[in-house]
Structure 1
Amino acid sequence: MANSEWSQIFAITLATIFLCNNNFTFATDPFVQQEHDRIDRPLPGQNFNISFEHYSGYITVNEDAGRNLFYWFIQADHVDPTSKPLLLWLNGGPGCSSIAYGEAEEIGPFHINSDGKNLHFNPYYWNQVANFLYIESPVGVGFSYSKNSSDILNNGDKRTAEDNLIFLLKWFERFPQYKKTDFFISGESYAGHYIPQLSQVIVKYNSATKQDSINFKGFLVGNAVTDDFHDQLGIFEFLWTNGMISDQTFKLLNLLCDFQSFEHPSKSCERILEIADKEMGNIDPFSIFTPPCHENDNQPDRRKHSFGRLRGVYDPCTENHSNIYFNRPEVQRALHVNPDHKPDKWQTCSDVVGTNWKDSPRSVLNIYRELIPTGLRIWIFSGNTDAIIPVTSTRYSINALKLPTVSPWRAWYDDGEVGGWTQEYAGLTFVNVRGAGHEVPLHRPKLALTLIKAFLEGTSMPTLEPRTLTATI
Structure 2
Amino acid sequence: MITLPLLFSSLLFSLGHGKPPHEALQLLNFINSPKPLSALRNARWALSRSSSAPVYVGAQDGLMEADKIDSLPGQPQGVNFEQYAGYVTVDPIKGRALFYYFVEAPEDPGSKPLVLWLNGGPGCSSLGAGAMQELGPFRVNSDGKTLRANEAAWNNVANVIFLESPAGVGFSYSNTSSDYEITGDRSTADDSYTFLVNWLERFPQYKARNFFITGESYSGHYIPELASLILKNNAANKNTVIQLRGIGMGNAYVDSNTNEKATFNYFWTHALIAGETYKNIQSSCNFSASFRTADCEEAIYVARNEVGNIDLYDIYAPLCRSGSNVKSTVEPDPCAGDYVTSYLNLAELQKAFHVNGHLPHSWRLCGCCGTGWHDSPSTMLPVIQGLLGSGLRVWFYSGDQDAVVSVTSTRDSIEQLGIPIESQWKAWSSDDEVGGYVIGYKGLTLATVRGAGHMVPSYQPRRALTLFSAFLKGGF
Q: TM-score range by the shorter chain?
A: 0.7 to 0.9
Residue aligning to 1:18? 54
* Cα displacement (A) at 1:353: 2.3
* Aligned counterparts of 1:117 and 1:415: Cα–Cα separation in 2: 32
2:356 aligned to which of 338, 351, 361: 338
C-alpha change, 1:65 and 1:98, in structure 2 (3 Å) is same
Give the secondary structure class of the aligned counterpart of 1:187.
strand
Q: Does 1:115 align with 2:151?
A: no
Q: Which amino acid aligns with 1:458?
A: G
Give the secondary structure class of the aligned counterpart of 1:429.
strand
Residue aligning to 2:364? 347
* Aligned counterparts of 1:270 and 1:48: Cα–Cα separation in 2: 55
Query: Given that residues 191 and 221 in structure 1 are in contact (C-alpha distance below 8 angstroms), is that contact kept between their aligned partners in structure 2?
Result: yes
* Cα displacement (A) at 1:248: 4.4
* Aligned counterparts of 1:192 and 1:286: Cα–Cα separation in 2: 16
Residue aligning to 2:465? 449
* Aligned counterparts of 1:7 and 1:164: Cα–Cα separation in 2: 14
Query: Given that residues 292 and 315 in structure 1 are in contact (C-alpha distance below 8 angstroms), is that contact kept between their aligned partners in structure 2?
Result: no
Query: Given that residues 285 and 293 in structure 2 are in contact (C-alpha distance below 8 angstroms), is that contact kept between their aligned partners in structure 1?
Result: no
Give the secondary structure class of the aligned counterpart of 1:243.
coil
* Aligned counterparts of 1:296 and 1:53: Cα–Cα separation in 2: 36
* Cα displacement (A) at 1:82: 2.6
* Cα displacement (A) at 1:111: 0.9
* Aligned counterparts of 2:406 and 2:45: Cα–Cα separation in 1: 35
C-alpha change, 1:211 and 1:44, in structure 2 (3 Å) is closer
Higher mean alpha-carbon deviation, 241-250 vs 214-223, is at 241-250
Q: Which amino acid aligns with 1:331?
A: L
* Aligned counterparts of 2:466 and 2:319: Cα–Cα separation in 1: 27
Alignment of 1:415-430 (within 5 A): 415-430=431-446
Query: Given that residues 196 and 367 in structure 1 are in contact (C-alpha distance below 8 angstroms), is that contact kept between their aligned partners in structure 2?
Result: yes
Give the secondary structure class of the aligned counterpart of 2:80.
coil
2:315 aligned to which of 274, 280, 288: 288
Cα offsets for 1:142-192 (capped at 9, x unmatched): 000000112112110111011100110011011101000000000000001
* Aligned counterparts of 1:74 and 1:428: Cα–Cα separation in 2: 28
Q: Which amino acid aligns with 2:253?
A: V
Q: Which amino acid aligns with 2:311?
A: D
Q: Does 1:325 align with 2:361?
A: no
* Cα displacement (A) at 1:273: 4.5
Residue aligning to 2:378? 362
Query: Given that residues 18 and 166 in structure 1 are in contact (C-alpha distance below 8 angstroms), is that contact kept between their aligned partners in structure 2?
Result: no
* Cα displacement (A) at 1:210: 7.0
C-alpha change, 1:45 and 1:256, in structure 2 (3 Å) is farther
* Aligned counterparts of 1:398 and 1:54: Cα–Cα separation in 2: 37
Q: Which amino acid aligns with 2:269?
A: T
Cα offsets for 1:68-113 (capped at 9, x unmatched): 110011111123x232100000000001000111100110012100
* Aligned counterparts of 1:451 and 1:294: Cα–Cα separation in 2: 32
Q: Which amino acid aligns with 2:363?
A: W
2:451 aligned to which of 414, 431, 435: 435
1:74 aligned to which of 92, 97, 103: 103
Higher RCO (Cα < 8 Å, 6 or more apart):
2
TM-score norm. by structure 2 comes to: 0.85
Alignment of 1:88-103 (within 5 A): 88-103=116-131
Give the secondary structure class of the aligned counterpart of 1:353.
coil
* Cα displacement (A) at 1:293: 1.4
Cα offsets for 1:238-261 (capped at 9, x unmatched): 011111123344345445653269
C-alpha change, 1:343 and 1:319, in structure 2 (3 Å) is farther
TM-score norm. by structure 1 comes to: 0.85
Query: Given that residues 142 and 343 in structure 1 are in contact (C-alpha distance below 8 angstroms), is that contact kept between their aligned partners in structure 2?
Result: no
C-alpha change, 1:245 and 1:343, in structure 2 (3 Å) is farther
* Cα displacement (A) at 1:316: 1.6
Residue aligning to 2:181? 153
C-alpha change, 1:100 and 1:8, in structure 2 (3 Å) is closer
Query: Given that residues 48 and 121 in structure 1 are in contact (C-alpha distance below 8 angstroms), is that contact kept between their aligned partners in structure 2?
Result: no
Q: CA RMSD in A?
A: 2.5
Query: Given that residues 223 and 438 in structure 1 are in contact (C-alpha distance below 8 angstroms), is that contact kept between their aligned partners in structure 2?
Result: yes
Q: Which amino acid aligns with 1:33?
A: L
Q: Which amino acid aligns with 1:207?
A: A
Cα offsets for 1:316-374 (capped at 9, x unmatched): 2111111111111111111110002x242211011x52860001111101011111111
C-alpha change, 1:200 and 1:453, in structure 2 (3 Å) is same
Residue aligning to 1:471? none
Residue aligning to 1:128? 156
2:72 aligned to which of 40, 43, 59: 43
Query: Given that residues 96 and 349 in structure 1 are in contact (C-alpha distance below 8 angstroms), is that contact kept between their aligned partners in structure 2?
Result: yes
C-alpha change, 1:355 and 1:407, in structure 2 (3 Å) is farther
**Identity of aligned pairs, percent?**
46
* Cα displacement (A) at 1:275: 4.0
Query: Given that residues 107 and 441 in structure 1 are in contact (C-alpha distance below 8 angstroms), is that contact kept between their aligned partners in structure 2?
Result: yes
* Structure 2: gaps spanning 5 or more residues: 1-41, 326-331
Alignment of 1:72-471 (within 5 A): 72-79=101-108, 81-209=109-237, 213-254=241-282, 258-259=286-287, 273-295=300-322, 316-340=334-358, 342-350=359-367, 352-353=368-369, 356-459=372-475, 461=476
Give the secondary structure class of the aligned counterpart of 1:18.
coil
* Structure 1: gaps spanning 5 or more residues: 299-313, 462-473
* Cα displacement (A) at 1:49: 2.2
Cα offsets for 1:288-319 (capped at 9, x unmatched): 11211122689xxxxxxxxxxxxxxx982111
